[in-house]
Each structure stands twice: as structure tokens, then as C-alpha cells.
Structure 1
Amino acid sequence: MKRVRKEPTTLFALTSFLLIIAVLVVLINLGVNTTISIFLGAVVAVGIALALGISWDEIEKTIKNVIADSTPTFLIVLMVGMLVGIWMASGTVPALMYYGMELISPTILVPLAFILSSVTSIFTGTSFGSVATMGLAMVGIAMTTDISIPLVVGAIVSGAWLGDKMSPLSDTTNMASGVSKVPLYDHIGSMMYTTLPAALIAIVLFAIAGFAFGAGSMDASQSQLIMSTLEEHFNMSLILILPAILVLLVSVFKMPAILGMGLTVIISAIFAMVFQGVGFVDLMNYAFNGFSIETGVAIVDPMLNRGGVTSMMELLGIFMMASVMGAVITSTGILDVIARNVLLKFIKNRVVLVFTTLIYCYVVNFLAAGGQIVSIIVTEQTFEEAFDRMGIHRKVLSRTLEDAGTLSAPIVPWGVATIYVMSVLNVDASYIPYCWFIFLVPVFSILCSVTGIGMWNTKGEKMWGRQKAGATPLVK
């Protein structure tokens, strides 16, 4: 007999929602592995779907679709792991560290970490790639100073996700504009109103913090020890930085991400064999298992011994489980019910609408373990009608999705992005409070809604100077 699908009641939706959150939070706080915690959250979500009369065939189909859609991202993550291992062997990251220690003053290291990570991410369209390349080099330089490493990582992450948010090559940028049916560059232009002021303030804060936390001093002996060790084990040359520049070039020429990353891996491998004399078999092992070297210098080995496909296995497991859980939760319709019967009833003006959209993005992202794509899609589907009814242009919606949905990914303690940052940069979650740019952007989202600056009606006409804050009528 065919099962009849039930519409979840408001009470059922809220209870289910809180139950899934409770499972994740309790298990992770008890020390259960993150992947297993999310898996059990997904099991609970499947139970909820079955209770609503959703057939297992439909659930399985949803899971397969999500995994299929996520395959390109899985491949990119694997290639990032390969690239880090190869870049270590080729001397690319050691060269960035070596010349960075020669040229970068410790007094500007923290704001420069933010700026360089932003530029790298904007050109490459990937926050993960920016963290694994420029971020890794900046942390290596920071280790020769008395600057707080979590502070530097906070600056790196802020910059990396600024680029992930603004780059026309980024998957989240294209996703947010696509699902909102907003032209890509209209979407990017809208984001300027919240991103630029937040970035300027973040640079000032990072500069002040750099001085306050001791950026003015550098351990010259330690710096010299690291540089001499790198010189001893690598053939140092500025030409080794070319593979890092190649990452930028393939993005400038808009090469598909997987093809561009693959080309970079191949050329970087050639650099390793030509300039460092690394054998092909050893190089392939470095690509899979990560680079391995014993320099005899305790501070250097942890900087260099990293990367490889194996370093990404936990991340892939978390990513896969988070994608599955998010897909099943979405298929139940409980988020739609909560939004329609609870959230949307309180939305009476544009200020409340933007604020509620931001909060909803955060909630979904935390629920989906930092699944920013899930957050963007689910929130857009929930709030698009409200923006249309209020006469607010969808490029405000698409911007809001990124201001919270994209940017909140690396501040979810159990999230995919956070686990990635911690594993690649060898740091714990203590960097999260220093991600000031990420916390500033939603503030400007709300300020835009209050002042009307950076707000447009459905005809594309500017709202600022037209109405008082929050006075946008709810069009029936």
C-alpha cells in the first residue's frame, strides 16, 4: 500500500528541529567524533522523514542526488590535499615562508594576512585553497614572532571567506545569485554595501590587534633558524612561487575549477622533480600521504609535514554526512513549516525581514555542520516570497544569504570548514573569536535595512532617502 505523505505540524517541526540540534550538540560536547555525531543526526532526520510517510526510496533518491551534486567539491578537496603535499615537496610553500620572513615586517603581519588571503581567495574563488596556500605561509611566518597564532588564523579565515563571498568564480557566489535569480554581477555589486565597510574596519582592527599582541617583535634567532633550515633542505629560488601564481592565473582565465586545480597539481609536480630532484614515486606518495621530512629542527617539521589526500579523509567524511543530513532535513519540509508558521508571522518590515533571514541562515548552517550551500538554498526557498511581497529586490536577498550563509561556515565549531582550517593550519577552534570580518558583515546587513542604503525595490530603484527605516510596506 502506498504511504501517504503527511504535512508536519508546527509542533512536530519545532520538536524535530530541536531534537536534531540536541543530538549534534550533546554528542559533540561529549567528545563523540564529529562525523559519527552528524551521522547519528542524519539517522534521526531519516526517522523523522519516515514518520512523515516519506518512503525510503524517496529518501535514498534525495541522498544520491546530493552526493552526485557534491562530487565536484569532493574532487577539489582531494586535489587541495594533493596540492599541499606536492607544494611542500616542490618548495613552493617553503619559498613563500622563506621570502615572507625576509620581506614582511611583523608589525603588519596580521592585517597583511587578511589582505593577502582575500586577494588569493578572490582570484581563485576558493576559501579552502586560500587557507592551504597563502594561509599556510602566513602561519609559518607568524611562528617566528610573538603574535597570537589564533589571531593570525582569524585574519586568514576572514580574508579567505571574504574572497569566497565576493569572487565571481566562487561556488557560493554563483549559487546565491543563481537560486535567487539575480544576475551574478548585480549580486556582487549588492554585496559591496555590506562587505567593503566591514573589510575596512576589519583591517583597522587587525592592525591594532597586531600591535597590541606583540607584532612589533620578532625572534631573530628563531627566524634565522627556520630560514637556514629551509635553505638546507630545499633549493630556494623565487621561481618556486610560480605554481602559487598559476593558481591565480587559471582563475583569471576562468578555467573550470577542477581542470584548473588539476593543471596546477601537474605543473607543481614537475617543479618538485625539476627543482628539488624529488623522485616520481616519492612525489606520488607525498601527494597521497602528505609531505614528510625530518630536519632535526622541532619548530620546522610541523610546518612542513602536512598535506596529502589522507589529510582530507576526515573532512570528506564530515562533508558527506553533513550533505546527507541537510538533504534529508530539507526533504521533510520541517524548516519550511517553521519559517511559514513561526518566523514569517513576525515579519512586518524590511528590518525584521533581513534580521530574520540572517538568523535563519545561521541556524541552518549550524544545523548542517557548516553546510553553506545547504544554508543558502534552504533559506532562499524559505524567504523569497517574503522579499517579493514586501517589494524588496532579490539582490538584497542574495546578498543576505552570503552575509550569513557563506560567512558563518568557518565559525561553526563542528563544521566542515572549521575542521578543515584546524587540520590544515594546525590550530584549534580558538581562532573563531578573531574572525572579526565575519561578525561585522551582518551588522552592516542590518544597518542597510535600517537606513535603506544598499536597498532596492523590485523595480531596482534605490530605497535610501525614499522611506523611513523599516517602513517598507508588506505588499499583498
Structure 2
Amino acid sequence: MKRVRKEPTTLFALTSFLLIIAVLVVLINLGVNTTISIFLGAVVAVGIALALGISWDEIEKTIKNVIADSTPTFLIVLMVGMLVGIWMASGTVPALMYYGMELISPTILVPLAFVLSGVTSIFTGTSFGSVATMGLAMVGIAMTTDISIPLVVGAVVSGAWLGDKMSPLSDTTNMASGVSKVPLYDHIGSMMYTTLPAALIAIILFAFAGFTFGAGSMDASQSQLIMSTLQEHFNMSLILILPAILVLLVSVFKMPAILGMGLTVIISAIFAMVFQGVGFVDLMNYAFNGFSIETGVAIVDPMLNRGGVTSMMELLGIFMMASVMGAVITSTGILDVIARNVLLKFIKNRVVLVFTTLIYCYVVNFLAAGGQIVSIIVAEQTFEEAFDRMGIHRKVLSRTLEDAGTLSAPIVPWGVATIYVMSVLNVDASYIPYCWFIFLVPVFSILCSVTGIGMWNTKGEKMWGRQKADATPLVK
């Protein structure tokens, strides 16, 4: 007998929504493994879908599609694990740390971590790659100082996601402009109005933190010990930094991400064998299990013993479960019902519209375990009509999607991005309060809607100083 699909009522949608959030929050607070918590959240979502008359065949098809769509990302994550292990063996990350300690003053380390991570991410189009390369080097240098590691990681993450948001090579940048039907560079130009002022203030804050907590905090003897240890166990040369530069070059030449990452892994492996004399079998073990060395210096070993495919397995589990949960939730239509029957009824002007879109992106991201692509797609589908009816250009919509949808990913404690940062940089979630850039951007997004600066009507005309573009009611 064919199941009849039912439209969720507002009460059912709200109850289901809160139930899934409650399951995630309670389980994670109880200390249940994040992958298992999200899996159980997905089970609840499947139960909701079945209750709405969605057949198991449809649910299974949804799950298959989302896993198939996510496969390229799975491969990239695995290759990042390989790359970190091989970069340790080749001396690339040790060289970045060694020369960084020679050149970088503790007072500028924090703002520099923000700037360099941002530049790396803009060139590569990947926040994950920036964290695993420049971020790893910055944290390694920070470990020789008294500067708070969570503060440095907050600066790294802020910079990495700035680049992810602004880079024309980034998947989220292309996704937000694509689903909103906005030309890519119009979308990037619109984001300048919220990103640039937030970045300038973030640099000032990070610089102040660096001067306050970094002045005189470099332990010269400890720094010298680390540098001499690195020199003792690796053949140091500036040429070892070339694999890191290669990551930038493959992006400049717009090489496909998987192909570019694979090429970088191969060349880095050659560097490890040629310059460090690493055997092929040992190198393959480092690629899978992570780099392993006993230097006899307690502070150095944790810096170097990282990476490998195995270090990414928990992340892959979380990513897979989060993708499944997000896809099933979207298929039920409960988010659309909540938006249409609850949220849109309160939208009377552009300020409330932008604010509601931001909040909605945050909520979807927290519910979908930091699935920024899910957040962008669902929010765009929900609010595109509202922006059109109010006469606001869609490049404001696409910008708002990124201001919250993209940037909130690394501040979801149980999210894929957060777990990735924690895995690669060997930190806990205490870095989240220091992601100042990420918290500043939505503030400027709201300020733009209040002042009209950085706002355009559907004809592309500036809305400076106008309260709203159209009085057309959003809900009939």
C-alpha cells in the first residue's frame, strides 16, 4: 500500500525541530560520542520522516544521494590527513615552525596568524587546507610562548573562514552565489561591506591581544631547544617550504581540488624521501597512521606526532552522519513550514528580514552539525521569495547566507568543522570564544540593513538611508 505524504503542521514542525535539537544537546552534554549523538539525531529525523508518510525507499534514496554528493569532500579530508603526516615527515611543517620562530615576534604572532591563515585560505579556497598548513605552523610557534593556544587557534580559524567566505575558489562562495542566482563577483563585492570592517576590527583586537599577552612572553631557551631539536632531526632548508607554496599554486591555476591535493601529496612524499631520507614503507605508514617520532624533548613530540588517515576517521564519521541528518531533516519540510508559518509572519522590514535570515542560518547549522552547505541551501530556499517581495537584491541574500551560514560552521561545538580544527590542531573547543571575526561579521550585516549601506534594490540601485524597498506583505 502506497504511503500518503503529509504536510507537517506548524505544531508538528516546531515540536520535531525542538526534539532533534534536544537530542543533540542532551547527548553531547552527557558526554556521548559526537558521531553517535548525531547518528541518534538522524534516527529521530528518520522517525519524523516516516511519521509524515515519507517511504523508506525515499529516505534511503535521500541518504544515498547525500553520501554520493559528499564523496569528493570525504576524499579531500582523507588526503588532508595524509598530507599532514607526510608534511611532518618531509620537514615542511617543521621548517615553517623553525623559520617562523626565527622571524616572528610573539607580539605580532596572533594578528599574523589571522592574516596569514586568511591569505592562505583565499588562495586555496579551503578553510580546512589553511588550518592544516598555516594554522598548524602558527600553533607550533605559539607553543614556544606563553600566549594562549585557544587565542591563536581563534585567530587561525577566523582567518581561515574569512578566506573560505571570500575566495572565488571556495565551494561555499560559489554555492551561495549559485543558488541565489547572483554573478560570483557581484556576490563577493557585496560581501566586502560586512567582511572588510569586521576584518579590520578583528586585526585590531588580535593585535591588542598579541601586544598584551605576547610582549616578552617568548621563552628564548625553550625556543632555542625546539629549534635545535628540529635541526637535529630534520635536514633544514627553505626549499622544504615549497610543498606549502604548491598548495597555493594549484589553486591559482584552478586545478580541481582532489587532483590538486593528490599532486601535493605525491610531491610532498618525494620531498620526504629525497630531503629527509624517509623510506617508502615508513612514508606510507606515516600517511595512514600519522607521523611518529621520539625526539626526547617533551614539548616537541606533540607538535610533530600528527596527521594520517586515522586521525580523520572520527571527522569522517561525524561528517557522514551530519550529512545524512541534514538531508533527512530537509526532506521532511519542517524547516520550510517553520519559516513560512512562523518566521516570515514577523518580517515587516529589511532589518528584521536580514536578522531572521542570519538566525535561521545559525539554527540550521547547529542542527545540521555545522553543515554550512546545508545551511546555505535551506536558508536560500526559505528566504529568496521574501527578499524578492521586499524588493531587495539577491546579492544581499547571498551575502547574508555566507555571513552566518558559512562562518558559523567552526563555532558549532559538535560540528564537522569544529571537530576538524580540534583534530588537526590538537585543541579543544575553548578556541570558539576567540573567533572574533566570525562574531563581528553578522553585526555589520545587521548594521548594513539598518543604515542601508551595502544594500541594493532589485534594480541594483543603492538603498542608502531608505528604510525599506517595498511594502509588499511577505505573508498573504
Q: Fold conserved (TM > 0.5)?
A: yes
Report the CA distance between 1:473 and its aligned residue: 7.8
Superimposed CA distance per residue, residues 268-318 of structure 1 (whole angstroms, 9 cap, x where no aligned partner): 011000000111111011001100000000000000000000000000000
Q: Is the 8 A contact 1:349 1:473 kept in 2?
A: no
Superimposed CA distance per residue, residues 318-357 of structure 1 (whole angstroms, 9 cap, x where no aligned partner): 0000000000000000000000000000001000000000
How many angstroms apart in 1 are the aligned matches of 2:25 and 2:135?
29
Q: Is the 8 A contact 1:91 1:276 kept in 2?
A: yes
Report the CA distance between 1:244 and its aligned residue: 0.3
Q: Is the 8 A contact 1:89 1:286 kept in 2?
A: yes
How many angstroms apart in 2 are the aligned matches of 1:465 and 1:13?
38
Q: Is the 8 A contact 2:85 2:286 kept in 1?
A: yes
How many angstroms apart in 2 are the aligned matches of 1:344 and 1:52?
23
Secondary structure at the counterpart of residue 236 of structure 2:
coil
Report the CA distance between 1:474 and its aligned residue: 5.9
How many angstroms apart in 2 are the aligned matches of 1:30 and 1:467?
47
Q: Is the 8 A contact 1:391 1:474 kept in 2?
A: no
Report the CA distance between 1:461 and its aligned residue: 1.0
How many angstroms apart in 1 are the aligned matches of 2:277 and 2:214?
39
What is the aligned partner in structure 2 of residue 158 from structure 1? 158
Secondary structure at the counterpart of residue 214 of structure 2:
coil
Residue range with higher mean Cα deviation, 207-216 or 130-139: 207-216
How many angstroms apart in 2 are the aligned matches of 1:23 and 1:229?
48
Report the CA distance between 1:426 and its aligned residue: 1.0
How many angstroms apart in 1 are the aligned matches of 2:187 and 2:413?
29
Superimposed CA distance per residue, residues 397-434 of structure 1 (whole angstroms, 9 cap, x where no aligned partner): 00000000000000001111111111111111111000
How many angstroms apart in 1 are the aligned matches of 2:410 and 2:466?
37
Report the CA distance between 1:216 and its aligned residue: 3.3
Report the CA distance between 1:214 and its aligned residue: 3.4
Secondary structure at the counterpart of residue 4 of structure 2:
coil
Q: Is the 8 A contact 2:391 2:469 kept in 1?
A: no
Report the CA distance between 1:475 and its aligned residue: 10
Q: Is the 8 A contact 1:117 1:156 kept in 2?
A: yes
How many angstroms apart in 2 are the aligned matches of 1:262 and 1:348?
50
Report the CA distance between 1:203 and its aligned residue: 0.1
How many angstroms apart in 1 are the aligned matches of 2:470 and 2:416?
36
What is the aligned partner in structure 2 of residue 386 from structure 1? 386
How many angstroms apart in 2 are the aligned matches of 1:151 and 1:293?
27
How many angstroms apart in 2 are the aligned matches of 1:78 and 1:427?
20
Report the CA distance between 1:152 and its aligned residue: 0.4
How many angstroms apart in 2 are the aligned matches of 1:24 and 1:474?
33
How many angstroms apart in 1 are the aligned matches of 2:215 and 2:282?
39
Report the CA distance between 1:467 and its aligned residue: 4.7
Change (3 A) 1:280 1:102: same
Change (3 A) 1:275 1:470: farther
Secondary structure at the counterpart of residue 440 of structure 2:
helix
Q: Is the 8 A contact 2:390 2:470 kept in 1?
A: no
CA RMSD of superposed structures (Å): 1.3
Percent same amino acid among aligned pairs? 98
Q: Is the 8 A contact 1:180 1:380 kept in 2?
A: yes
Q: Is the 8 A contact 1:179 1:380 kept in 2?
A: yes
Secondary structure at the counterpart of residue 360 of structure 1:
helix
Report the CA distance between 1:466 and its aligned residue: 4.4
What is the aligned partner in structure 2 of residue 437 from structure 1? 437
Change (3 A) 1:301 1:23: same
How many angstroms apart in 2 are the aligned matches of 1:472 and 1:144?
59
Superimposed CA distance per residue, residues 196-255 of structure 1 (whole angstroms, 9 cap, x where no aligned partner): 000000000001011222343210000000000000000000000000000001101111
1:297-316 aligned at under 5 Å gives the runs 297-316=297-316
Q: Is the 8 A contact 1:354 1:449 kept in 2?
A: yes
Superimposed CA distance per residue, residues 154-185 of structure 1 (whole angstroms, 9 cap, x where no aligned partner): 00000000000001111111111111111111
How many angstroms apart in 2 are the aligned matches of 1:207 and 1:196?
16
Residue range with higher mean Cα deviation, 466-475 or 377-386: 466-475
Q: 4+ runs of 1 displaced by more than 3 Å? A: 465-476
Q: Is the 8 A contact 1:450 1:469 kept in 2?
A: no
Matched, 1:77 2:77: yes
What is the aligned partner in structure 2 of residue 111 from structure 1? 111
How many angstroms apart in 1 are the aligned matches of 2:149 and 2:323?
31
Change (3 A) 1:27 1:276: same
Q: Is the 8 A contact 1:452 1:465 kept in 2?
A: yes
Change (3 A) 1:431 1:470: farther
How many angstroms apart in 2 are the aligned matches of 1:255 and 1:323?
26
What is the aligned partner in structure 2 of residue 122 from structure 1? 122
Report the CA distance between 1:446 and its aligned residue: 0.1
Superimposed CA distance per residue, residues 78-112 of structure 1 (whole angstroms, 9 cap, x where no aligned partner): 01000000000000000000000000111100000
User: What TM-score, normalized to structure 2?
Assistant: 0.98
Secondary structure at the counterpart of residue 213 of structure 1:
helix
Report the CA distance between 1:373 and its aligned residue: 0.7
Q: Is the 8 A contact 1:451 1:464 kept in 2?
A: yes
How many angstroms apart in 1 are the aligned matches of 2:338 and 2:287?
46
Secondary structure at the counterpart of residue 362 of structure 1:
helix
Structure 1: tracts of 5 or more residues without a match: none
How many angstroms apart in 2 are the aligned matches of 1:474 and 1:396?
17
Residue range with higher mean Cα deviation, 299-308 or 204-213: 204-213
How many angstroms apart in 2 are the aligned matches of 1:472 and 1:393?
15
How many angstroms apart in 1 are the aligned matches of 2:3 and 2:275?
65
Change (3 A) 1:141 1:317: same
How many angstroms apart in 2 are the aligned matches of 1:302 and 1:467?
55
Report the CA distance between 1:472 and its aligned residue: 8.9
Q: Is the 8 A contact 2:392 2:469 kept in 1?
A: no
Structure 2: tracts of 5 or more residues without a match: none
What is the aligned partner in structure 1 of residue 245 from structure 2? 245
Report the CA distance between 1:469 and its aligned residue: 9.8
What is the aligned partner in structure 2 of residue 173 from structure 1? 173
Q: Is the 8 A contact 2:389 2:472 kept in 1?
A: no
Report the CA distance between 1:465 and its aligned residue: 3.9
Q: Is the 8 A contact 2:457 2:469 kept in 1?
A: no
Change (3 A) 1:469 1:144: farther
1:247-326 aligned at under 5 Å gives the runs 247-326=247-326
Report the CA distance between 1:61 and its aligned residue: 0.4
Q: Is the 8 A contact 1:380 1:397 kept in 2?
A: yes
Count, aligned residues? 476
What is the aligned partner in structure 2 of residue 465 from structure 1? 465
Change (3 A) 1:464 1:223: same
